[in-house]
Amino acid sequence: MMLDLFENYKETVAIAPGAVLFKGFVENARALLGAIGDVTARSPFRHMATSGGYRMSVAMTGCGERGWVSDKRGYRYDPTDPETWCPWPEMPAAFLQLAKEAAAEAGYPEFSPDACLINRYDIGAKLSLHQDKDELDLTAPVVSVSLGLPATFLFGGLSRNEPKKKLRLVHGDVVVWGGPSRLAYHGVSPLKPGLHPLLGNIRINLTFRKTE
């Protein structure tokens, strides 16, 4: 079928030094979605509070040895899910395999993530410009997997006010970013309405990190 040609379309796009976009990298989206279901059955999505007391529009959960937690005390990686008082669910094998494959392809063959943050965007949800700097080992990259509805990803520089590139991230795209880009400011524009054949009216983003 004609569509299959496009569904398997792969391309590598250089974003900035240390940052690369693999279009169509995900081949086992259904396996990932099953694993996301397993994780969220134990640690459900929740809207965390920012340190300033605002409710985040993105719903989050996580898996692996530690989860990213935000509350009035600030941001941190915590081995316990504050909603369940239990450890975060184990990292599913399909997650780990995908993250390692993408990192190796991008030149980080040693990458072994100990945490995966799972973000769910409903229509209108956004992520303000930020740096990922709560991880202790900044030599490890972040691997980011996009599923469901497309999003506009803003990618800037090392200071907040540098010009931003706008990237369209669609279902199956993987971004690996590290090295000179590891602390680049980035964010996600409000999710536009749409309907994805597998995920419906949401976008899910997985980010894999080495936190310690």
Contact footprint for ligand MD6 (CB under 6 A):
119, 127, 132, 142, 144, 153, 175, 177, 186, 188, 205, 207
**Closer to ligand MD6 by Cβ: residue 91 or 204:** 204
The C-alpha atoms of residue 66 and residue 194 are separated, in whole angstroms, by 33
Amino acid at 70: S
Residue type, 106: A
CB of 117 to ligand MD6, least distance (A): 8
Q: How far is the CB of 147 from ligand MD6 (least distance, A)?
A: 10
* 27 phi and psi angles, rounded to 5 deg: -110, -15
* 132 near Fe ion, judged by CB under 5 A: yes
Minimum distance, C-beta of residue 186 to ligand MD6, in the bound complex (Å): 6
Q: Where are the beta strands (DSSP E) in the chain?
A: 11-16, 19-23, 59-64, 67-71, 74-78, 80-81, 86-87, 115-122, 127-130, 142-148, 151-155, 165-169, 174-177, 186-188, 202-209
Nearest residue (CB) to ligand MD6, 4 versus 16 = 16
Q: Compute the least distance from the CB of residue 212 to ligand MD6, in Å.
A: 17
In the Cβ-directed half-sphere of 168, how many Cα atoms lie within 13 Å? 4
Which stretch in 19-27, 41-49, 125-133, 156-164 sits in contact with Fe ion by CB under 5 A? 125-133
Q: Does 135 bind Fe ion (CB under 5 A)?
A: no
175 binds, among Fe ion, ligand MD6, none (CB under 5 to 8 A by kind): ligand MD6
